[in-house]
Amino acid sequence: MKKIILTAFFLTLSLNSFAQTDCDYSSNVTDSIGTYKSTKGYLMHERVFGNSQTSIYFSLINADGLLSLNIQMISKSSEFIAAKCFDENSKIYIQLTNGKIVTLISPEIETCGNSVMNEKENVRILNGYFLFIKDNFEDLKASPISFIRIKYTGDAIDYVCKSELVSEVDKKTYDPDNYFMNYLKCVQ
């Protein structure tokens, strides 16, 4: 009986190690100034409706031990795109499936991103950085995400986190609800 239990345990352990997500970095630098790691952008939300498209990407950053979340929101439309802004009062609230809520805070002064116009459409790109509170890491590593609330300047919008997101734009499959469980280890 012991052999069967041990075999099942080691089989489960080996399957879990193969199922883990590899770290994919956009930047991983160590020099005389310090260290900087940044994961590649990961699609967390996508909305394509008519002639407009909005995509939200997350990437994790470790700059000399300071962990932060970079959020990039890209909006495209043939119509006017209203500006969304981040300021020092902006926050990201992440509700986990276990009921806990994790808050990330913005250290930034107001930023409203950049607006670019080409022949076909308007494009607005908003980047923001949000800091983790040290006690939140274990909660983020232990439970999937159910909702994300982003508090912009003067507005808050809720985004439902899907367990599987098939992008209409790049046709790739993402699992945003497990983002922190899969990638937080890459920058710790």
> What's the pLDDT score for residue 128?
94
> What's the pLDDT score for residue 22?
85
Residues 160-185: pLDDT tens digits? Answer: 999 999 999 899 999 999 999 999 99
At CA 186, angle to CA 110 and CA 55, rounded to 5?
45
Whole-number Å distance between alpha carbons of 162 and 116: 30
- Asked whether the beta carbons of 98 and 145 are under 8 A apart, the reply is no
Residue 111 token pair:
């930023």
- Asked whether the beta carbons of 67 and 188 are under 8 A apart, the reply is yes
DSSP assignment, residue 182?
Answer: H
Residues 32-43: pLDDT tens digits? Answer: 888 899 999 999
> What's the pLDDT score for residue 5?
35
Residue 11 has pLDDT above 50, yes or no: no
Q: What is the pTM of this model?
A: 0.84
> What's the pLDDT score for residue 20?
53
* Proportion of the chain above pLDDT 70, given as a percent: 89
Residue 4 has pLDDT above 60, yes or no: no
Whole-number Å distance between alpha carbons of 29 and 16: 29
Residue 31 token pair:
């020099």
Residue 107 has pLDDT above 60, yes or no: yes
Residue 60 token pair:
């994790």
DSSP assignment, residue 41?
Answer: P
- Domain map (residue ranges) of the chain: 24-186
Whole-number Å distance between alpha carbons of 101 and 139: 9
Residue 131 has pLDDT above 80, yes or no: yes
Q: Worst-scoring range by mean pLDDT, 5-9, 52-56, 158-162?
A: 5-9
Residue 62 has pLDDT above 60, yes or no: yes
Contacts (Cβ under 8 Å, ≥6 apart) of 114: 124, 125
Q: What is the dihedral of CA 5, 19, 173, 183, to 10 degrees?
A: 120
Residue 58 has pLDDT above 60, yes or no: yes
Going by pLDDT thresholds of 50, 70 and 90, the confidence category of residue 19 is very low
Going by pLDDT thresholds of 50, 70 and 90, the confidence category of residue 93 is very high
